[in-house]
A and B are shown apart, each in its own frame.
Chain A
Amino acid sequence: MTPVLELKEITKRFPGVLANDHISLTLEPGEIHALLGENGAGKTTLMNILYGLYQPDEGQIIVRGSVQKFHSPSDAIHAGIGMVHQHFMLVPVFTVTENVMLGDEPLRPGGFLDRKTAAQHIRDVSQQYNLMVDPDSYVKDLPVGVQQRVEIIKLLYRKADILIFDEPTAVLTPQEADDLFKIMRGLTQQGKSIIFITHKLREVLDVADRITVIRRGKVVGSTLPSEADQEKLAAMMVGRAVDLELQKEIARVGDVVLQVNDLSVLDERSQLAVDEISFDVRAGEVLGVAGVQGNGQTELVEALTGLRQPLSGSVHLTGHDITRAHPRQITELGTAHVPEDRQRDGLVLTFPIYENLVLQTYYLSPNARGINIHWDDIHKEAQTLIKEYDIRTPSAETTAGSLSGGNQQKVIVARELSRPIKLLIASQPTRGLDVGSIEYIHTQILRRRDDGVGVLLVSTELDEIMQLSDRIAVMFRGKIVAVVNAADVTKEYIGLLMAGVHPEDARGSNANNGSEKEETRLTGGGSGDE
């Protein structure tokens, strides 16, 4: 079989950087070929070359046996190549039909748009490939996972048969990701070929037919999922052995740090997002909050950190009532917060790193005396933190916005963990990060736990919850359905709870069924710390 696509010795230089160094890649018909590499390894550059956005300095692109030169994406589209971008290219206020036909509109006589034909075509395509989408709904009303389907339909509508998926799961919930993988397999069964760009190891092993790993612009190896495991792939990606299994000391649990009683919180639409939940976090332990995105975790964290007023209930931090406290009071009582959306809440992207490092402490001695900020001292301290927390940056003056995601997160972690703290609230601390950064941030979180900090870890990544937590609270539709000891449960059991299965019914799937301990459903209020 001739490959549908061959990249031969592709080389691309940017000033000072060799982004792609003689990369070769073949894509067979009907296969899912995963391109695995850390952020900045050159995956996206390579795909932009394939998509006609960049011209390669050297090398050839061969599509179905003939050498092609792409000067623009329209050349690539013409050759049957389509790309699902990480950030969708959709017009939110247009309908699905309008978005799909955009740029390739069927016309009725007289130059009017023929929406009907287009909509029918979309229905046909979505039926053929099992992509359920209503052509008449507005894109802004669709969940992210469905928006992504619209992107895929756009490509199929243009008869693309080589599909590039650029980090497609970064914006998806685990369920949506599973749906996507089903769709991808369906597509290949019908003869489409897929290049799947990612840095998530598990996804690669789940869905790929073949895996090519690149590091620093070079292909470091190709392998099959059956011959690889996560450790091997991680080592290839990072270039050294990576500890995927964290070495965790036994928790030395102390007093209650955070005590939450019957807390209820409303979301933006005034719907009950957090429904009378109670739990506590003790010094020296990690309480993981598991749950599918959108089950109230965001609102819970915002209420705990003072960013959102709770409806009712109470929150106590080391004995202080912080139920309706201002964020600054909560911070000053010793709370660190690694926010869910680091670019929106955690950083000022246009500010240099050293200013971002004092976002919480700029007004305190020794950073300031009175209203005078001592930038020289802050600058020196920033240099130390950059070294200590391994922030890869040309200088402390570099704006946070020009750092990679992993380094942005390190800036936040450095700022939050370098303060004396009693409680760490970490929300999706490793979302979108590469393996190396994830390992680093996990280590830092555990280090603070061992120092006696109480950690509340909120994550939709079940692996992360299982690895770090001492106890796990599962949130479903605003309620905590169970709080269990991490050592006593399996991943499958937590997964079922996350999906809303009643703890009693889920018990059967718990491997440790016989020795399972009573679920410690904490109701709070009984603690003697208040």
Chain B
Amino acid sequence: MIRRAVLLVVAVACGRPETIEPSRAVPFGGYSELALDPTPKGHRRMVPPEVYLRAYLTWFGGLSPAQVFQKARGRKLFDQWADYLVALGLPDYAIDAPRAAQSNTVMLAAMGRLGEALCVRSVEHDLRGRPDKRAVFAFEPIANPSRDEFASRFDTLHRTFLSYPARLAPADRVDRFYALYRSVAARHASGLLSADESGWAAVCAALVQHPETGLY
């Protein structure tokens, strides 16, 4: 009896392996009828300040905080980082201050100062330097652009800062920024920046502070 059982096991073990024939995958049913609710389920929230700052540094050429200090200092454009930690919404463990979860006016002001400083320096670097070295203003500038000429260049900035084409934005956005460009350029016939450079610096400073950049 035992001998027969052993033989049976051996026969089964050494037999031809069972094969499963491939078959066509059948999609799961029900999805075509499933009602999906794509509406947002809560308020938009501010991204953590560290993320916001990292985005700033990335947009302007992958700078380190120390490089920002080097690049933006001078002519009262920016001060030391330590002056701003809590104002920027960052936690400050030295005084037991937690990370800010809501924006406030001082935070916007501090971010705005940093943004303006980096935009001014980028204008100086990009629009006056070699075209292949342009980090933010990666387009060919022209003097006194028309609305369409402005729109194509604005789209470059819009993709950089807001991550999508300007044509997908609300319809009046390009016109609003074009008006900003023209009003600023008109006020700066002379100075450290030319009229067009001033216009682009203002457009850049507005885009880095845009409501869509800091929310998710």
Indicate whether A and B interact.
Answer: no
Q: Which B residues are closer than 8 A to A by beta carbons?
A: none
Contact surface of A with B, Cβ cutoff 8 Å? none
